[in-house]
Amino acid sequence: MKNWRAGNFGPEKQIGRTASLLLILSMLCSAGFGQSPYQLRTGRELTVLGVGALSGVSALVLETNVSPLTEGEIRTLNRADVNTFDRRATYRFSTTADRLSDVTLAGNAAVLGLLTIGTKPMRQDIKTVAVMYIETILLANGVQRSVKNLTQRTRPFVYNPNAPLDDKLQREARQSFFSGHATNAFATAVFTGEVFRHYFPDSRLKPVVWIGSLGLAAATAGLRYEGGLHYPTDLLAGAAFGSLIGWGIPKLHEVKNRSQLGRRLEVQPWSNGQANGIYMQLAVFSR
């Protein structure tokens, strides 16, 4: 094997070959450090999924104890009994806002889906992203529905004489606190922002993703208010709890100790018949 020496090339060729070698090494290093920032562990995932499923079953059981309001109970309701901060919500009612809140909520989930499918690092790690998101939604919905069925708070539109009586007589008319739409919207928004920034820490699109996702979540909450479906306190509680879950699940799976990633440098000779050199590859792998 011949040694690579400066005398083997002219100055221009030597600089060009060296630059090419450094470029290759730089690209390989960048690829190596593109490993997943998250890690799944069978025991932990079974525990989190189990807690989420258990909270969901609990919510279903508790829901059987929620009895719809009667016409007599509805007639005795007085919006003056609602605290001042929430009282204005009792004047709101809109079926259009109700339907639009479903659209903005779905839009938030669509943003996450498009980013996962449309970006190579997230697409290659789709199993991890999917498992984390399922855990987020299961836990968020199980807890919020359990709380709803325990508190049995009357929705704002029930106080509004312009709202249809049939809607007021439904079981859901007593499931106001706290907002499921706000919980899911903010859980998804924060989850999306957190995951994107970890996969693309240097991306200039991070503010766009955060603003877009949180904007859709805020729109969802605002539409639920305009629809007369939730009080401000319902929405604030849902936003806070959803944000906590959306941040907490990715944080739980984050590779906290970068020393868990090992590094291996491979050096190999190469020759094309006219010139000799070395090929270097830096690989990053999980221990």
Domain boundaries for CATH 1.20.144 within the chain: 39-254
d(CA 69, CA 150): 15
Question: What CATH number was assigned to the domain covering residues 39-254?
Answer: 1.20.144
Distance CA 152, CA 59 (A): 12
Q: Please, what is the Cα angle at 124 between 108 and 39, to 5 degrees?
A: 85
CB environment 167-186: b (16+ within 10 A), e (fewer):
bbeeeebbbbbbbbbbbbbb
* Tokens matching residue 280: 């270097």
**Is residue 181 helix, strand or coil?**
helix
Whether pTM exceeds 0.85: no
One pLDDT digit (tens) per residue for the chain, 287 residues:
434 433 443 444 443 444 444 344 333 333 333 578 999 999 999 999 999 999 999 999 999 999 999 999 999 999 999 999 999 999 999 999 999 999 999 999 999 999 999 999 999 999 999 999 999 999 999 999 999 999 999 999 999 999 999 999 999 999 999 999 999 999 999 999 999 999 999 999 999 999 999 999 999 999 999 999 999 999 999 999 999 999 999 999 999 765 444 444 454 555 666 665 555 554 444 44
